[in-house]
Structure 1
């Protein structure tokens, strides 16, 4: 009798073409790692924000008088005090040693420009530039001399007397 050989199986039917379990595990691992990194960055940002808040609060509690005073001193002039500062028209006949440009916008003064001269330091600026500055700062942008209402009133009296 003839020996019969056992039937052989073709390799295509028993082995799957792709392995869906392995790819889903890789995708899940990537999502988990991304979530951990995102959570770490959020925690780091929150920690930095809380550290900043605690430092500011500690400074306000330990140095309340000095901190508040420093904020008030350079908080800007009131509009009524700013109006009392003298205004002049630039004529260009100043000496060569005099600065002929605005330190705020860095533009040279032209004949006919309206400029404001600060008291005591005599620094000159374009009217629009210095008015914007003085609304948020109460000091000269060049020398940091503090202007207060007393300086402005005495300046008004000096400019009207001349």
Structure 2
């Protein structure tokens, strides 16, 4: 018969997760991989939470806010052309637009000074004026004055959307 080796009392007990191996592994298990996976899952959960909050906000926006965004979405070309135009002259600029900014000799869109003979367009509700080319480009995407943000469209269309 073969002799079985008897347990030796000189051996030290092994750790509960197995023997410690170099490079942060305990019993063949890499704790750094686990930590990286937990961190990655946390970042993904934060991103998903942010996306869900944005999606909920889009679906629960008040109708009035959406209607006001549509109201300032730009003028149609025929509405824009119907706005009054004039020719700029230095001696009539101060008298023709009392509500303009103190530096009324400058177009606030392109920041260029008006010169005699420049075609300008007046906005009827606020009397601000701009180069025709500048304000026409602005009014294709906005329905408000670039200086005072006064809406050019009526609020009747806001009530019809509700």
- Aligning the two structures, in what range does the TM-score lie when normalised by the shorter sequence? 0.5 to 0.7
What's the counterpart of residue 68 of structure 2? 70
Q: Distance in 2 between matches of 1:102 and 1:116?
A: 11
TM-score by length of 1: 0.62
User: Which residue pairs with 1:49 in the alignment?
Assistant: 51
TM-superposition CA deviations, 1:61-118 (whole Å, max 9, x none): xx33x23421222121111111111233323233395611122233322334332111
Range with greater deviation from structure 2 (123-132 or 101-110): 101-110
The 1:42/1:112 distance shift into structure 2, 3 A limit, reads farther
**C-alpha spacing 1:116/1:24, structure 2 compared with 1 (3 Å):** same
1:126 to 122, 131, 137: 131
TM-score by length of 2: 0.62
Structure 2 residue aligned with 1:95? 94
Question: Which consecutive unaligned segments of at least 5 residues does structure 2 have?
Answer: 1-20, 96-101, 155-162
**Secondary structure in 2 aligned to 1:146?**
coil
* SS of alignment partner, residue 130 of structure 2: strand
The size of the alignment, in residue pairs, is 125
Secondary structure (helix, strand or coil) at the match of 1:133 reads helix
**Runs of 4+ with >6 A deviation:** none
- 1:103-149 Cα deviation digits (max 9, x unpaired): 22333223343321111321011223211221121111222222138
Q: Residues of 2 paired with 1:30 and 1:108: CA distance?
A: 65
Matches of 1:71 and 1:142, distance apart in 2? 18
Higher helix share: 1
RMSD: 2.8
Q: What's the secondary structure of 2:121's corresponding residue?
A: strand
